[in-house]
Structure 1
Amino acid sequence: MENSSGIKKIAVVGPESTGKSTISAQLADHYQTVWVPEYSREYCSQLTGPCSWEDEINMFKGQLALEEQLSPQANKLLICDTTFITVKIWSDYVFGKAPEEVLSELPRRHYDLYLLMDIDLPWEDDPLRNFPELREYFMDVWKKELQALNASYYIISGTHDVRKRNAINTINQFFNII
């Protein structure tokens, strides 16, 4: 689904505990726009058992709906704290395959720029995070997924203000923002 509104979509993606939500909020503040939170975080906090196949499909649909709901409020840039590609990655890992709905939507859903958050931040425990020992594995998976989409992506490294500055500089250079 190409974006005809003139809004540029930036996807902030990466393995667990890499600061995606923090940087998304910071970027939205910097560019005076809105950001789309990670739908699965709220969804999973309500689960009483392990995540099921149907839960993955619900998270896919919820992430897209949230993005579509917030997109009209964007000021030139829409910052997306992760995307539904996360559903593909988790489903592949947990279930050995991804839902067909997700696979068919991948080539149709366009993001102008992906910021792949590096695993150089310390792990922060959180009840919704599962795999501290698999951060390198998932970083490689993210790279492969973005390459398979022929996506424009940049790895964003650094801690605290350095990470924020690196993300802003990448966005400014990519979109020729002065």
Structure 2
Amino acid sequence: MLRVALTGPESTGKTTLSRLLAEHYGTSWAPEYAREYLEARGPRYTLPDLEAIALGQLAAEEAAAARAHRVVFCDTDLLVIKIWSEHAFGHCPEWILERIERQHYDLVLLLNVDLAWEPDPLREHPTHRQHFYNLYHSELSGRVSNFAEISGPPAQRFEQACYLVDELLAASAPPR
């Protein structure tokens, strides 16, 4: 099973693109668990909340992978939890850092901040998106070689992502 993670700052289209890719490839996707968690409990969160969200995200990914066909798309990843934890609390729990090191995605799509901000009660930093994008880019550059930046209007993002996923699927196909 191939795993593709979509990551990046708030309001960059991760959820929409994850859903569209899953529909296009006839497979499943793991929604961002933080949204479900915070909608049920309110927008304020603690470090233990972030740990619960991390566990929920991992469970959502496994559930989506169990239903997937060839590829599963993950709307966010633990890197998001790491960056938010460090921003909000000054550090990230060690078990999350260890899990990030062990976790494998066949492709990570980093979504750029060149889309208009869409207000949402769960979103926090409309003026800091470039700062966060730079953090994601730095983290991925230092640890993951299989990531690509996705930018432009929604249709262009979808085309870029499909091209990369098609390449990934072709590379993983058994030889004829």
Cα separation, 2, equivalents of 1:71 and 1:77: 8
Which letter maps to 2:144? N
TM-score with structure 1 length normalisation? 0.92
**Which structure is higher in helix share?**
2
Aligned residues: CA RMSD: 1.4
Moved more, 150-159 or 134-143: 150-159
Matching residue within 85, 94, 100 for 2:88: 94
Give unmatched runs, 5+ long, in structure 1.
1-6
On the 8 A contact 2:43/2:122 being kept in 1, the answer is no
Cα separation, 1, equivalents of 2:43 and 2:2: 37
Matching residue within 88, 109, 131 for 2:125: 131
The alignment partner of 1:69 has SS state of: helix
Residue equivalent to 1:121: 115
Residue 49 of structure 1: how far off its partner (Å): 6.0
Cα separation, 1, equivalents of 2:73 and 2:5: 6
Q: Does 1:43 align with 2:34?
A: no
Q: Does 1:61 align with 2:51?
A: no
Matching residue within 137, 156, 171 for 1:162: 156
Cα separation, 1, equivalents of 2:42 and 2:107: 35
Residue 169 of structure 1: how far off its partner (Å): 1.0
On the 8 A contact 1:19/1:117 being kept in 2, the answer is yes
On the 8 A contact 1:114/1:151 being kept in 2, the answer is no
TM-score with structure 2 length normalisation? 0.93
Percent identity (aligned): 39
- Note the alpha carbon deviations across 1:18-54, whole angstroms, 9 max, x for none: 0000000000011000000000011011224621010
Residue equivalent to 2:101: 107
- Note the alpha carbon deviations across 1:115-164, whole angstroms, 9 max, x for none: 11111100000001000100100000001111222241101111121211
* Large movers: runs of 4+ above 3 Å: none
Moved more, 108-117 or 164-173: 164-173
Residue 85 of structure 1: how far off its partner (Å): 1.4
Give unmatched runs, 5+ long, in structure 2.
none
